[in-house]
C-alpha cells in the first residue's frame, strides 16, 4: 500500500484514494465534429506503460480533490504529484 502525498492534505495512506486512469486526456470540446475513429481514440485508447506513467487520483476519503500523479508502474514509486491544470513535470 503506497503513501500518496495529496497536494491539498499531505501524506495519506493509499486506501483513502481512488485511481482514475491515465492523466491529460482532454475531453474534446466539439465531440459532434469528430469521426467515429477520433471519438473512439478519446473514449477507449489508454496507455499501459511499464515504467513512468501519468495518472489521475482522487482523495475520495479526504478532500475529494482530483490531482495528477507520476508513478513508476514497475515499482510503484511515485515521482511527482501536482494539481489539476498544472503542467506535468518534465524531468
Partner 1 sequence: MTKNLRVKSSKLIDETYKISFKFNGRTYYGYKGDTLASALLANDIHLVGRSFKYHRPRGIMTAGSEEPNGIVQLHKNTSRTEPNVRATEIEIYEGLEASSQNCWPSVNFDIGGINNFFSPILPAGFYYKTFMWPSSFWEKYEYFIRKSAGLGKSPTEPDPDIYEHKYIHCDVLIIGAGISGIIAAKTAAKNGYKTLLVDEKPYLGGSTIYQNSEHFKINNQISSSWLEKEINEIKKIKNLEIKIRTSVAAYHGYNFLLARENLTDHIPLEQRNNKIRHRLLKIRAKKVITATGSLERPLIFDNNDRPGILLSSAIEKYANFYGVACGEKNILLTNNDSAYEAAISLYQKGINIEAIIDNREEIDSKLIKETEKNNIKVYKGYTVVDTSGYKRINKVSIMQLSKDGQKVVGPKISISCDCLGVSGGWTPAVHLFTQSGGKLKFRDEDQVFIPNIYPSDQISIGSCNGDFTLDEILSTVPKTLKEFLNLKKTDYEDLEIKSSFNKSKRNIWLLPSDKIIGKTKPFVDYQNDATAKDIKLALREGFRSIEHVKRYTTTGMGTDQGKLGNMHALGIISETAGSKMGELGTTTFRPPYTPLTFGTIVGRNVGEYFDVFRKTPIHEWHVENKAEFENVGQWKRAWYYPKNGENMHDAVQRESKAARDSAGILDASTLGKIDIQGTDASEFLNRVYTNAWSKLAIGKCRYGLMLNEDGMVYDDGVTTRLGENHYIMTTTTGGAATVLGKLEDYLQTEWPELDVYLTSVTDHYATVSVCGPNSKKIVSQVIPDLDFSDENFPHMSFKNTKIGKIKCRVMRISFTGEHSYEINIQSNYGKSVWEKCMEIGKEFNITPYGTETMHLLRAEKGFIIVGQDTDATMTPIDLQMDWIVSKKKYDFIGKRSLYRSDTIREDRKQLVGLLTENPDEVLEEGAQIVADIKKSPVEMLGHVTSSYYSPNLKKSIALGVLKGGKNMMGKKLIIPMENKQINVTVADPVFLDKENKKLNA
Binding site for partner 1 (CB under 8 A): 1-3, 13, 18, 20, 26-27, 30-32, 34, 36, 39-40, 43, 56, 58, 60, 64-66, 75-77, 84-85
47 vs 84 by CB, closer to partner 1? 84
For the bound state, the minimum distance from the C-beta of residue 54 to partner 1, rounded and expressed in Å, comes to 13
| E strand or H helix at 78 | strand 77-83
For the bound state, the minimum distance from the C-beta of residue 89 to partner 1, rounded and expressed in Å, comes to 18
Among the listed residues 40, 38, 49, 42, the one whose alpha carbon sits nearest the alpha carbon of residue 72: 49
| Helix residue ranges per DSSP H, the chain | 36-44
Instruction: Please count the CA atoms within 13 angstroms of the CA of 82 that sit on its side-chain side.
Output: 12
For the bound state, the minimum distance from the C-beta of residue 77 to partner 1, rounded and expressed in Å, comes to 8
34 vs 49 by CB, closer to partner 1? 34
In DSSP terms, 67 is beta-bridged to 57, 83
Amino acid at each position: 500500500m503506497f503513501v500518496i502525498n495529496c497536494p491539498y492534505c499531505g501524506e495519506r495512506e493509499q486506501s483513502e484514494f481512488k485511481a482514475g486512469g491515465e492523466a491529460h486526456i482532454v475531453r474534446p470540446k466539439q465531440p459532434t465534429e469528430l469521426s467515429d475513429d477520433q471519438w473512439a481514440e478519446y473514449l477507449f485508447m489508454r496507455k499501459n506503460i511499464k515504467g513512468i506513467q501519468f495518472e489521475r487520483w482522487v482523495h475520495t476519503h479526504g478532500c475529494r480533490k482530483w490531482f495528477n500523479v507520476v508513478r513508476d508502474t514497475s515499482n510503484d514509486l511515485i515521482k511527482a504529484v501536482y494539481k489539476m491544470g498544472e503542467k506535468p513535470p518534465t524531468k
